[in-house]
Amino acid sequence: MNIHLFEKLQKEGQISPASAEKLQELSANKLYSLHWELKTILYLGVLLLSGGLGILIYKNIDTIGHQVIIAIIALICGLSFAYCTRKRLAFSWQKVPAPNGFFDYILLLGCLTFITFITYLQVQYNVFGTRYGLATFFPMLVLLFSAYYYDHVGILSMAITNFAAWLGLTVTPLQLFSTNDFFVTTRLIYTGIFLGALLVAIAMISEKQDRKKHFAFTFANFGVHIFMIACLYGLMQGGLETRYYDGNKGAFLFWFAIMAAALVFCYKEALKRGSFYFLMILALYAYVAISYVVLKGLIAMDNIGALYLGLMYFIGSGIGFVVFLVKINKRLKKA
């Protein structure tokens, strides 16, 4: 409520002092929204419940029994999906609001327990045998269907994560930087490139066809990050003097050109959509890539002058980076 406007109207004689006083009282006693606080608590409650059930089962697995555990997990999962199916609104390719405040959280609980159910079956009974890809492919299909059928962005994120795992894009940061296996490194890079490009393409098609258009941001967000990280990894591996790459300048220039082309394309798309978030992360990835190239050149100089040039570069580039973000933000606001 704009109190200053009512004070101005009172001075001009448009409203009476009594009315202005009542408006001030209403403004002072206005309700405070706890919407996001409650949503956060509910999400944490679902995660804590899932984690607590897992710990309880793990510590009492010998006394409870595998069949009872599976039955409990299946019951929670089935009841959750049954509730969501009963309460959901009619399907639409447009955004469908949740029918009530608990719908999203019960759906999240159902999907989490479903993943737990599949994982338990594979670990305990080896239902998929040695076909380990099915242990991620089957949940991915269910999660993807649930995301569209019930219109849930959080479940869509889980489906994309399972898709990445199914493609083999599962590696810890320690493994990423410690592996010396050329084939593992190459597979990770090209898998990341493929998955990132695919997700960005799905985001663009979703917007163009107006099919679950609000999912486009999630697809694009995952896609851009995965694609750029894969390019950075390829750039750094191609520029390292290892026994596999042997300082391969061709590979180094190849990944730099791929990343530059992707950055230009994504930059134009972000400007078209007026997205400061994507412009900021693109600027960060570009800064990391350029800084790597500059540092690689300075290290090759191998003298004290390179150290001073490096310090000057980081000071100047840091200032330039901030100025760029400020200018692009002003440009978007004007647009």
Lowest mean pLDDT among 3-17, 33-47, 241-255: 241-255
* pTM of full prediction above 0.85: no
Domain membership flag for residue 273: no
Residue 245: pLDDT band with limits 50, 70, 90: very low
Place of tokens 């750039």: 235
Q: Read off the pLDDT of residues 226-243 as tens digits, 9 standing for 90 and up.
A: 999 999 988 887 655 443
121 belongs to a structural domain: yes
Indicate the pLDDT class of residue 136, thresholds 50, 70 and 90.
Answer: confident
Quote the pLDDT of residue 86.
94
Closest listed residue to residue 219, CA positions, set 275, 273, 274, 156: 156
Residue 28 lies in a domain: no
Residue-averaged pLDDT of the chain: 82
Tens of pLDDT, residue by residue over 278-314, are: 999 999 999 999 998 888 888 888 788 888 898 899 9
Dihedral sign, Cα of residue 53, residue 55, residue 60, residue 61: positive
In a domain, 281, yes or no: no
* Mean pLDDT, residues 183-202 taken together: 86
Number of residues written out for the chain? 335
Which pLDDT does position 172 carry in this prediction?
A: 47
Based on the structure, what is the number of domains in the chain?
Answer: 1
DSSP per position, 63-107? HH-HHHHHHHHHHHHHHHHHHHHHHPPPP-SS----SSTTHHHHH
Q: By percentage, how much of the chain surpasses pLDDT 70? A: 77
Residue range 238-249: mean pLDDT, rounded: 49
Give the pLDDT confidence score for residue 32 in this predicted structure: 58
The confidence score (pLDDT) of residue 218 equals 95
Long-range contacts of 284-289 (CB under 8 A, 24+ apart): 285/228, 285/231, 285/232, 285/259, 287/317, 287/321, 288/232, 289/231, 289/232, 289/235, 289/256, 289/259, 289/260
Identify the weakest region by mean pLDDT among 77-86, 131-140, 174-183: 174-183
Question: Are the beta carbons of 278 and 227 closer than 8 angstroms?
Answer: no
Buried b (16+ CB within 10 A) or exposed e, 93-129: eeebebeeeebbbbbbbbbbbbbbbbebbbeeeeebe
The pLDDT score that the predictor gives to residue 124 is 78
Lowest mean pLDDT: which of 5-19, 110-124, 303-317?
5-19
**Percentage of the chain with pLDDT > 90?**
38
The predicted structure's pLDDT at residue 178: 53
Q: Residue 67 pLDDT > 90, yes or no?
A: no
pLDDT tier at 61 (50, 70, 90 boundaries)?
Answer: low
Domain that holds residue 114: 37-166
pLDDT (mean) for 215-225:
95
> What is the mean predicted confidence (pLDDT) over 256-272?
92
Task: Give the model's pLDDT for residue 57.
Answer: 66
Helix 216-239 with 249-273: angle, nearest 10 deg: 160
pLDDT at 219: 96
* Integer CA distances (angstroms), 173 to 10, 176, 177, 259, 297, in order: 63, 5, 6, 21, 26
Task: Copy the structure tokens of residue 197.
Answer: 């490009």
Mean pLDDT of 160-188: 66
CA-CA distance, 30 to 27, in Å (whole number)? 5
Residue 171 belongs to some domain of the structure = no
- pLDDT band, very low/low/confident/very high, at 244 (cuts 50, 70, 90): very low
> Would you say 289 and 239 are in contact if contact means Cβ atoms under 8 Å apart?
no
Return the axis-axis angle of helices 249-273 and 182-209, rounded to nearest 10°: 20
Q: Which of 151, 154, 153, 156 is nearest to 88 (CA)?
A: 151
In a domain, 146, yes or no: yes
Phi, psi at residue 94, to the nearest 5°?
-90, 175
Within a domain: 129: yes
pLDDT at 121 > cutoff 80: yes
C-beta separation of 160 from 222 below 8 A: yes
CA 286 to chain centre: 19
Please write the tens of the pLDDT for every residue from 37-50: 676 777 677 677 77
Residue 98 lies in a domain: yes
